[in-house]
Each structure stands twice: as structure tokens, then as C-alpha cells.
Amino acid sequence: MANWPFTQGIHDIGNGLYGYVQPDGTWGWSNAGLIASDGETLLVDTLMSVPLTRDMLDTFRAKVPEAAKIDRLVNTHANPDHFFGNGLVADAEIIGTNEARKEMAGFNPKMLANLKNVYTEMGDTGAFLYETMGRKFDFSGVDELTLPNRTFDERLDLTVGSKAVSLIDLGPAHTDSDTIVWVPQDRVVFTGDLLFNEGHPIMWAGPVENWIAACQYIVDLDPEVVVPGHGPITDTSAVRNMQAYFEYVRDEARKRYDAGLSFEDAARDINMQEYRGWTDPERIVANVFSLYKQWGAQFSPEQHRDLFGAMGRYHHEMQNHGEACDHAH
């Protein structure tokens, strides 16, 4: 099957399952999903903003009668593009892991809304945050966070109408907790950000072995349809690609760590030719940073704060190199 058409909006998977897809899948442009069965609904994630989430809910309601009422919502993890719209379904049972809820509670929702006013004072970090997110999203209406009101650890098995649905935490990997939503009778899995399809992933938490193992877990489920956190709906071939990406980056970064290169120099030195068609290549910088931390490197608070700046510098260097260069990469 490989990739479905990468088009905005609802994709009908069949049997009451839907993906909601947002091209181009880059920073903040996430996917969501809906499970509807016998008058009951489970929404998989909200979006980066209240307006985007409102549009998604309106689109679902126009197509799926059961979506008039969202009974339950699961937040797969604690990134804003998967929970900042929660307030629009505040009357629902909102489910997440204890770890994800704790991580969500640490976000300041006004920080992103205020970014447009302060980014010029934040150096390279502010510039790249504004370029990738601050100028693209309307963060109004998220003055307070709406957090999960039902929490679990490791696994929670639910029934949505006549469908069995399993919520399985395979983190920490992308974040401190990464839940997949598995619908076994339909052989459909919603992966959250354990899968960026045709985009560079970003490992905020790690360890990398957990993410590689999570990919294998998803493959072993043998799903027919895989709804990623970003990018087009797909099958397990994309999950295997993600697994291979992390195995390659881990091995290449380790050579450079052992040779004494800085994380930024290592990121620039790794040959990413095989992944040149993937979006957000600057995330190699954050992934090497996380690997170095995993292997014992000590970073200052300033280096942590500058991580978006480091990605921004890589992004612009690659952009400028591409414009000045006429040979194949």
C-alpha cells in the first residue's frame, strides 16, 4: 500500500476509523484521528491551535454523525501540536499517561502566543522558533491548558462502541511518554509521533533503543494501516524506515562521539544523503544532541536553551549550501 495521498483533511480508513492529515507535516503540522462505533467516539489528539482544532472538529461533524459529541480524547504525548486544542473538548474524558500529563503541565501556553513579540530578543533560538512555528499558528484561546482527566501507566484497554482499543505507552522515546492507539479488529494503529513519515523525527527524550524497540513493536502488531503523527497515512514500511534511520544515526553519531567531535560538528559530518527527501533535516542536530546526552556528555543550560538555535543554524547552512551548489547530494 505504501503512502496514501498526502492531502488536507479527513481520510476514511473504513469501519468507523478516520485519519485527519495536515500537509506538509513539518513543525506543528500534525495528524489526528477518530474512532466511531455504535454511537461512541474516541478522538486521537487535538492540534497545534484552537482554530485548527475547531476546523478539524467541524470537518469531522460534517462527515461523521457520531462526531457531534466527542466522548473521549486520548493525547498520545505532550507536544503542543497534539494537545493545545484540548479545550474544545473539555467536557470529554481526556486520557493520557501520568508521565505525559506531568510533561504537559510544564508547558507555558502563553510563551508561544507571545513569541511574535519577543523572538528578536532570543537570538538564533527565537529566530528559528518564530520561523517554524511562531509566525504560522494562531495561538489565541490557549490561555490555560486542558490536561487529561484520566491517567494510566503502560497500557489501558478500552471499548469504543463495539471496538476494542488498546492504548500502549512505548516511551520514553520522542517524549517522556509516547502512546500508540491500536484497533486490533481493524488492524489500524495511530502512532502519535513515534512515526514521522518522510520527515526527520526529533528525539526529545530517548533513549534511542526505546524508539528502535517501539518501531519493532508496531511492526510486530502487523497493522494494515498506520496513521503517523506527521506525514501521509501509510503501512509498516514507513515504520521500518524510521527504525533504520535511528540505527544509522546512532551508529554514525557514536563514531563521532568517540572521536571527540562536538554534537554540532558531528551532526554536520554525518552523511544524510539517503534521507535528503525528508522534511526538517535540521533535526539531526537535536537527535545527535540527545544521543550525546545519553552517552554521558554534559551540556550547559545555555546549550540546552540554544538547541533550537543550533537547528536553525544548520537549517540555514544547508539552505545556503543547496543554493550555491550544483552537484547532487
pLDDT in tens, 31-77: 999 999 999 999 999 999 999 999 999 999 999 999 999 999 999 99
Q: Is it the case that residue 111 has pLDDT exceeding 90? A: no
140 pLDDT tier (thresholds 50, 70, 90): confident
Longest dimension (CA), the chain: 59
Per-residue model confidence (pLDDT) at position 327: 38
Contact call for residues 203 and 172 (beta carbons, < 8 A): no
Percent of the chain having pLDDT more than 90?
91
The residue with greater pLDDT, 21 or 325, is 21
Per-residue model confidence (pLDDT) at position 169: 98
Residue 260 DSSP one-character state? T
Q: Is it the case that residue 198 has pLDDT exceeding 70? A: yes
Q: Which of the residue ranges 115-129, 228-242, 307-321 has the most confident prediction, judged by mean pLDDT?
A: 228-242
The DSSP secondary structure of 271-327, one letter per residue, reads: --GGGTTSB-TTHHHHHHHHHHHHTT----HHHHHTHHHHHHHHHHHHHHHHHH--S
Please report the beta strands in the chain, taking only residues with DSSP state E, as ranges in sequence order.
Answer: 9-14, 17-21, 32-37, 40-44, 72-74, 93-97, 150-152, 155-160, 163-169, 179-183, 188-196, 225-230
Mean pLDDT of the residues in the chain: 95
Stretch 167-174: mean pLDDT = 98
319 pLDDT tier (thresholds 50, 70, 90): confident
Per-residue model confidence (pLDDT) at position 323: 52
Domains of the chain in start order, with CATH, are 9-324 (3.60.15.10)
Alpha-carbon gap, residue 247 to 235, rounded angstroms: 20
Q: Which amino acid is at 15?
A: N
Report pLDDT digits (tens) over 223-257. 999 999 999 999 999 999 999 999 999 999 999 99
Per-residue model confidence (pLDDT) at position 1: 57
Task: Write the CB contacts of 311 (distance below 8 Å, at least 6 apart in sequence).
Answer: 128, 282, 283, 285, 286
What are the C-alpha distances in Å from 310 to residues 266, 294, 320? 12, 19, 15
Contact call for residues 254 and 295 (beta carbons, < 8 A): yes
pTM here is: 0.96
Alpha-carbon gap, residue 211 to 170, rounded angstroms: 8
Q: Which amino acid is at 98?
A: N
Strands 40-44 and 72-74: parallel
Per-residue model confidence (pLDDT) at position 329: 40
Strands of 93-97's sheet, edge to edge? 9-14, 17-21, 32-37, 40-44, 72-74, 93-97, 150-152
Q: Is it the case that residue 318 has pLDDT exceeding 90? A: no
The residue with greater pLDDT, 54 or 111, is 54
The owner of cell 508521565 is: 99
Per-residue model confidence (pLDDT) at position 223: 98
Per-residue model confidence (pLDDT) at position 326: 42
